[in-house]
Structure 1
Amino acid sequence: MANTEDSTGGLGATQQSGASFNRRVVLDVIRREGQASRKDIGDRVGLSPQAVANITQELESLGLIVSQRITGRRVRGQPPIAFSINPEGGDAIGFSLEPQRVSAALVSLVGEVLARDEERFDTSDPDRVLAVMTRLSRELMARARDPKRLWGIGVALPGPFDVPGMSFVGPTAFEGWRNLQLLTSLEQAMGLPVFYNTDSVAGALGEMLFGVAAPLSDFFYLHLSVGLGGVLLVDRSAYRGAAGNATEIGHVPVAPRGRPCYCGSEGCLERYLSLHALSEYMHGAVAPELGAETVKALLTAEDPHAVGWCRQAGPYLRDAICMIENLFDPEAVVLGGTGPRLLWDRLVAEAGPLRPSVRRASPLRILISEQDGDSALLGAAVLPIYELLSPRLHAAAATLAHHPAHVALAVTRDEK
């Protein structure tokens, strides 16, 4: 099991230590462009023609990309070769874990959801969560187009990680858990590598690869779920911070002498802007969490309590956007999470007009996800592919010819 690194960046590195970064950059360019020649790639990322040739050859040998001659261009000699993502290049399993809910999906390299399932139950017992995840993994494996090209399992779950007094504390986290040992047990049970990251990082990755953030290089992603998370993307790479817990915006105090927070502080943003805050407003502190469909139905019916909460939460969103813009100057603030799109629409309406900030002249300040709650699930499924692109990719390519089902597993073990 491995906590993942950040995702792709914009310009290639020139040192051998940047091999992993360069492969991710090249794959990202091909994904963003849809089809790109070696020259196109080199022009975009600043790598030498030989470096681009080596990387595309490696990616093609693993079946992650496919090549074809470009027709229609007037050039001397043979038409150039263009590369695109191979939709048949393999699948991965993604999990999005929340208090009271486990969602799972089988996802292709191009973000197509091939199968999915969801279960709601008390997730405070890690053993029960492990049993459900193992069963769902086996069911999804059985539906993979080619089980030999199932690259691994990615898991998105609430952070922060490894912070005493904050991790696994409170109803917006996994109360009752002590660590993430169950993910190691899942890896052992399934014989596939398991990678994990915060739901906000996974959500940002999902939006960057398959959603509204695809054209952006520098953006801030705000993840609204049971709690509230965020992540800053710089050159399409997640800023991690000293211990990997950067931009934990849900625990930024916004209300002096405000509501006590489970982290030990008071007046934290997620106490006012989260699905748990909505549930608490409507039904009290012991109420069950509201699912996306329930929230959508309430807002569609103009339920006065749901609408009243949005009216109260909107100003907190307005202040949060102003703070994010003045601190980081992103191209846009991308709004996603496991809540329905309709909830974000209502909150943005209640947050208007936005406060002046360094982005005041920008025509693009807010983008709302079109994934309708699936950003983290899609991003989680991509984690194994991005971790596969390690400096030992040549070893994986050699292994592929003999044991295709265990390529990602071999790379993971070798990297540890």
Structure 2
Amino acid sequence: MSEPQRRLLMQLRIEGQASRSRLGQLMGTNGATMTRMTQSLLALDLIEEGANSDNSVRGRPTVPLAVSARGGWAIGATAQPGWLELVLVDFRGRPLVHDITPFDSPDPRAFAHAVETRLQALAARHGFMRGRFLGLGVAVPGYALPGETGRRAVVDWLSGWSDIPLGDFLSDALGMPVWIENDASAAGLAEFYQEGIIGRYRSILTLFLGHGIGGGLIAERDLFLGEHGNSGEVGRLFPGHLDRPSGIDLLRILREAGEAIDSLAGIEGLLETRAPLIAAWIERVVGQLELAILSGIVWLDPGAIVISGALPLPILRRIAEGLETAGRNRDSKYRAPLPRIHATAIGSKAVVIGAAMIPIHAVTATGG
């Protein structure tokens, strides 16, 4: 698509819905040009007309436009310890299917086979049309290595994924367009597209607290990856041999207290029985993350910060509240605007939803 068409799509994602005249004002485009653009996007089924709800206006009614859910669909995939997670989203970015299946192999060929098998089953069950398919986004827990081949250093339990051109490999194996992105960056993209975020902020920082800790940055409504593709490698601030603000760290503390727990999913059931221990951990984590948050604020001046992750939502909310309070106390006499700190609404699904949003974002983002 042309750059103006991408801008129009992004503006509709921001606004939710808008009239042609409103879009023309926002984009600085005259009526004739706007009519031509909207006609072409309507013909492609990328946008749609809504019903005019204002019956009090005389003359020609104003018909709102919105992004069409039928414009296409995309898949997000990620491998977790013990399972494969998939999400299918429509062109509006709404999750249609969330699928989890057992998976435990470090071999990328096994991953490709598992994805293909599940997609065939889901397509048969839900009737998705291949012609509307935009691509597959894969979220990977690892950082980019030097060079232009898409190679990454990946966690040990996915050792077969390390230092290979993973995107090309999976694209060839699956016969479809594939995007590869760091899991925390993918989570940042998902959080940005949430209602109440994309319409209010141009730039956000996301901290994702899962097994480890990572960050994602949206700058001027696009995913910012940095010079080497490793923007948001927050985990480097917290060496692995020390206490870290991560899910693995909380699991260790709970085990040392006598709990037989081996996954983040089990923490939810201990929120009441281990409340004092978890509260102490949250207090420590807020103190650790405060400097990381402050550094992001002074360097990047984001509109908002989102605390996301695979930890239970009550824990993430309390961390966000603690950081919000710490920021107010630190900057009580600072008069410049400060970002709001939000807790995620989608939690652990942020990674796989963000992976699915990568192909959608590639169609919408200007210059993408």
Range into which the TM-score falls when normalised by the shorter chain: 0.7 to 0.9
Does 2:281 match 1:309? yes
- Would the alpha carbon gap of residues 60 and 324 (structure 1) be closer, same or farther in structure 2, given more than 3 Å must change? same
- Amino acid across the alignment from 1:235: E
- Amino acid across the alignment from 2:344: S
**Equivalent residues in 2 for 1:9-408 (5 A)?**
21-68=3-50, 70=52, 72=54, 78-147=60-129, 148-163=131-146, 167-171=152-156, 174-179=158-163, 181=165, 183-214=167-198, 215-252=200-237, 259-260=240-241, 272-283=244-255, 291-302=263-274, 306-348=278-320, 351=323, 353-355=325-327, 356-357=330-331, 362=337, 365-388=340-363
Percentage of pairs with the same residue:
27
- Amino acid across the alignment from 2:266: T
**CA–CA distance in structure 2, aligned partners of residues 239 and 225 of structure 1:** 21
> RMSD of the alignment, in Å?
3.5
**CA–CA distance in structure 2, aligned partners of residues 248 and 22 of structure 1:** 33
- Would the alpha carbon gap of residues 379 and 272 (structure 1) be closer, same or farther in structure 2, given more than 3 Å must change? same
| 8 Å CA contact 2:142, 2:154 repeated in 1 | no
SS at match of 1:247: coil
Partner deviation per Cα, 1:67-96 (whole Å, 9 max, x = no partner): 256463777753344311223333222113
**CA–CA distance in structure 1, aligned partners of residues 302 and 174 of structure 2:** 40
SS at match of 1:59: helix
* Structure 1: 5+ residue stretches without partners: 1-18, 261-266, 393-414
| 8 Å CA contact 2:86, 2:98 repeated in 1 | yes
**CA–CA distance in structure 2, aligned partners of residues 391 and 314 of structure 1:** 36
SS at match of 1:216: coil
- Would the alpha carbon gap of residues 185 and 246 (structure 1) be closer, same or farther in structure 2, given more than 3 Å must change? closer
SS at match of 1:119: strand
| 8 Å CA contact 2:203, 2:218 repeated in 1 | yes
Q: What TM-score comes out, normalization by structure 1 length?
A: 0.73
**CA–CA distance in structure 1, aligned partners of residues 178 and 332 of structure 2:** 40
Mean Cα deviation higher: 337-346 or 366-375:
337-346
Deviation at 1:54, TM superposition (A): 4.0
**CA–CA distance in structure 1, aligned partners of residues 61 and 345 of structure 2:** 38
**CA–CA distance in structure 2, aligned partners of residues 31 and 100 of structure 1:** 35
- Would the alpha carbon gap of residues 245 and 366 (structure 1) be closer, same or farther in structure 2, given more than 3 Å must change? same
| 8 Å CA contact 2:189, 2:218 repeated in 1 | no
**CA–CA distance in structure 1, aligned partners of residues 33 and 260 of structure 2:** 54
Deviation at 1:26, TM superposition (A): 1.5
Aligned length: 358
